[in-house]
Amino acid sequence: MLARAAARALATPSSRLFSSSAARHTKVAVLGAGGGIGQPLSLLLKSDPLVTSLSLYDIRGAPGVAADVSHVDTGSEVAGYAADQLDQALEGVEVVVIPAGVPRKPGMTRDDLFNTNASIVRDLASAVARVAPQAHILVISNPVNSTVPIVASTLENAGVFDPRRVFGVTTLDVVRAQRFVAGLVESDPAQTPITVVGGHSGPTIVPLLSQSQFGKAITGDKYEKLVHRIQFGGDEVVKAKDGAGSATLSMAYAGAKFTNALLRGLNGQKGVVTPTFVKSPLFADQGIDFFSSSVELGPNGVEKIHPLGQISAEEEKLLAACLPELKKNIEKGRAFVAAAN
């Protein structure tokens, strides 16, 4: 083990001599790695060349997932940690992805998960604050609109909050929007970028279709149905899984996609811009201090928060419906942490 670490330490500077764009060594942890999202997410992160070490933690099953994933023939090292090994799992970690918690059953909103997931996320955030205070934290656990403020408040209380390093993963809303629009206009989803802003639950999800050459062609009844499908696409999966949970595979894809974007930013790639739910000045004057909009990712995490740009009258209406709901969700998260102190 020591010999391997020493060899790696020696190898790093010389490899940088030969390539100015050599990737940093990045250790990524998945907390909740044994779950429906955690398992495929761990597999996808194992396939990401920017991940050099993968640390898998869960209260159930992470060592098994780690043993399995570790046989995949990519360069990264994989270690699994049992329930009582959270601190070890977080040692030296630079990026922490959190899909821990319970998912929805049919008829539930994301907010219905609050009671269970709030304390799970708070406790995991405190451990990150203690063991890896410089880590970037990517929150998948729902309700994202509240769990991200919970992470921020927990880190604030520990004196280590840096708004450039806490992200709510809203990428699945973007992935869905791009797929659904591409299906309607028969374009390639990869060439159909759609910006989705706001938060991550029903009416707080605001797709800015007017800013897309493809999206703006969709009007009338088709537009209404499309917006509803983007906002409530998660319900299609919850219903189809019929009690067995919510989106896991598409979420793992989206989580890996966002993690890769962050890693590219951390590695110094310029122009990495994607929507994510972060501490944001955009609507702070209305008491909404977290918001998802296009964010440029860089060596320190959040590099630049882009404004919404020009939006249509329909989008203004969607935004007006989003803001009060989002405000409530954020306040609920903040209040949860405040009440515990």
Annotated binding site for substrate: 104, 110, 142, 176
Q: Residue 119's beta-bridge partner residues?
A: none
Binding site for NAD(+): residue ranges?
32-38, 58, 117, 140-142, 251
Q: Does 245 bind ligand NAD (CB under 6 A)?
A: yes
CA dihedral 226→232→233→237, nearest 10 degrees, is: -150
**Cα distance between residue 90 and residue 54, in whole Å:** 10
User: Catalytic: 200?
Assistant: yes
Tokens in use for 275? 């929507």
Phi-psi region of 28 (alpha: psi -120 to 50; beta: other; left: phi over 0): beta
Q: Does 42 bind ligand NAD (CB under 6 A)?
A: no
**Of 99 and 298, which has the nearer Cβ to ligand NAD?**
99
Question: Which residues within the stretch 86-115 sit at the binding site for ligand NAD (CB under 6 A)?
Answer: 99-104, 113
Region from 21-29, 65-73, 137-145, 329-337 binding ligand NAD, contact rule CB under 6 A: 137-145
Q: What does residue 108 show for φ and ψ, rounded to 5 degrees?
A: -90, 145
Q: Does 189 bind ligand NAD (CB under 6 A)?
A: no
Q: Say if residues 96 and 314 touch (Cβ distance below 8 Å).
A: no
- For the bound state, the minimum distance from the C-beta of residue 148 to ligand NAD, rounded and expressed in Å, comes to 10
Among 50, 169, 266, 308, binds ligand NAD (CB under 6 A): 169
**Of 62 and 218, which has the nearer Cβ to ligand NAD?**
62
- For the bound state, the minimum distance from the C-beta of residue 249 to ligand NAD, rounded and expressed in Å, comes to 10
Q: Does 231 bind ligand NAD (CB under 6 A)?
A: no
Region from 27-35, 180-188, 201-209, 331-339 binding ligand NAD, contact rule CB under 6 A: 27-35
**Of 97 and 297, which has the nearer Cβ to ligand NAD?**
97
Q: Report the greatest alpha carbon distance in the chain.
A: 65
3-state helix, strand, coil in the chain (%, to 5): 50, 20, 30
**Cα distance between residue 104 and residue 244, in whole Å:** 9
Q: Does 35 bind ligand NAD (CB under 6 A)?
A: yes
- For the bound state, the minimum distance from the C-beta of residue 259 to ligand NAD, rounded and expressed in Å, comes to 13
Region from 33-41, 89-97, 221-229, 300-308 binding ligand NAD, contact rule CB under 6 A: 33-41
Tokens in use for 179? 């797929």
Q: Say if residues 28 and 42 touch (Cβ distance below 8 Å).
A: no
**Of 148 and 218, which has the nearer Cβ to ligand NAD?**
148
Q: Residue 98's beta-bridge partner residues?
A: 139
Q: Residue 291's beta-bridge partner residues?
A: 278
Q: Does 38 bind ligand NAD (CB under 6 A)?
A: yes
**Cα distance between residue 125 and residue 131, in whole Å:** 10
**Of 172 and 323, which has the nearer Cβ to ligand NAD?**
172
Tokens in use for 229? 């499908």
CA 308 → CA 191, 214, 316, distances in Å? 21, 18, 11
Stretch (H or E) spanning 62: helix 62-69
Please give the DSSP secondary-structure letter assigned to residue 141.
S
Region from 245-253, 292-300, 314-322, 328-336 binding ligand NAD, contact rule CB under 6 A: 245-253
Question: Going residue by residue from 46 to 65, which x/- string records binding to ligand NAD, judged by CB under 6 A?
Answer: ------------xxx-----
Q: Could you tell me whether strands 95-98 and 196-198 are parallel, antiparallel, or unpaired per DSSP bridges?
A: unpaired
**Of 25 and 179, which has the nearer Cβ to ligand NAD?**
179
- For the bound state, the minimum distance from the C-beta of residue 86 to ligand NAD, rounded and expressed in Å, comes to 7
Q: Does 28 bind ligand NAD (CB under 6 A)?
A: no
Catalytic residue set: 200
